[in-house]
Amino acid sequence: MLENPWIAGLSALFVWWFSTGVILVAVRYADRHGARACNMATWMALPLFWLGLWGLHATSTDGSVTGAYLAFLSAIAVWGWIELAFLTGIITGPNAHTCPDKLPEWERFIRAWGTIAYHEMLLVAVLILVMLYCWGAENTFGMWTFAVLFFARVSAKLNLFFGVPKINVEFLPSPLAHLPSHFRLSRLNWVFPFSVTALTFAAACWMERLIAVDTAGGTVGFALLTAITTLALLEHWLMVVPLPDEKLWRWMLPAPKSAHPDTTPLKKT
């Protein structure tokens, strides 16, 4: 049953939804209990990061169905811890200030980069490490999963910077209350068409490989990649289409401690 590509795709959908929910619950809990709780949540979850790296190492020579699933889960574990460290404010960037109005675009970009610099450098370092180790291995599905998540996230951040019609900041915790000031609400920007085109092309490539592959492990691996890339594409379209995607997780989260008084409203252009 696990060899069925539809089961693999649905598994990717569930892992994406569930892991996002777990991270949001942990972040909301830590945010309600202050900076010490944010530190504890991040460092207590650190074994997940090392377990994920070990999983990518252990599955690189395993081309089976189990190997494909475990490689995918390992990449999600590594990615999830880095996202948790960002959302708790532990690994972000040197700039924790709101963005003033009417800045030149170049200065606005530098300030925005400063809010996420350490996080981005960690992601790049891990991506390079994973690619150096897994490139040419029998099982590269974990490597490609991490790569898809990385490039989709970079694309999403660029779109938020240049401006999109819909931005959800409901789940941002206190340590990141300054981030919305670096976003921009506007009509479609010039990056968005390139983003959705690239993600559509990537999903089509994984789908072509899924149809052509003749092994059970390959079928599962490419089904997982097709699903996670399609989800990344969907997340981009949700910046444009006015659908209440936040309802997917809002029901499972405790109420925020209070509204963040230092959160800067989104800029409109």
List the chain domain ranges: 5-257
Are 91 and 46 in contact, with CB atoms under 8 Å apart? no
- CA distance readout (Å), 228 to 125, 167, 183: 22, 21, 25
Give the Cα-Cα-Cα angle 168, 171, 177 (nearest 5 degrees).
90
Give the global pTM: 0.92
Distance from C-alpha of 195 to C-alpha of 154, rounded to nearest angstrom: 10
Reading the chain (269 residues) residue by residue, the pLDDT tens digits are 778 889 999 999 999 999 999 999 999 888 888 889 999 999 999 999 999 999 999 999 999 999 999 999 999 999 999 999 999 999 999 999 999 988 899 999 999 999 999 999 999 999 999 999 999 999 999 999 999 999 999 999 999 999 999 888 878 888 899 999 999 888 889 999 999 999 999 999 999 999 999 999 999 999 999 999 999 999 999 999 877 777 777 766 766 655 454 455 566 66
Read off the tokens for 93: 């960037």
Alpha helices in the chain (DSSP H): 5-32, 35-44, 46-59, 65-87, 105-134, 141-162, 191-212, 216-237, 247-250
β-pair partners for 126: none
Sequence-ordered list of residues with C-beta below 8 angstroms from that of 199, at least 6 positions apart, any chain:
152, 155, 229, 232, 233, 236
Distance from C-alpha of 31 to C-alpha of 87, rounded to nearest angstrom: 10
Distance from C-alpha of 191 to C-alpha of 188, rounded to nearest angstrom: 8
- Give the pLDDT score at 188: 83
Sequence-ordered list of residues with C-beta below 8 angstroms from that of 215, at least 6 positions apart, any chain:
63
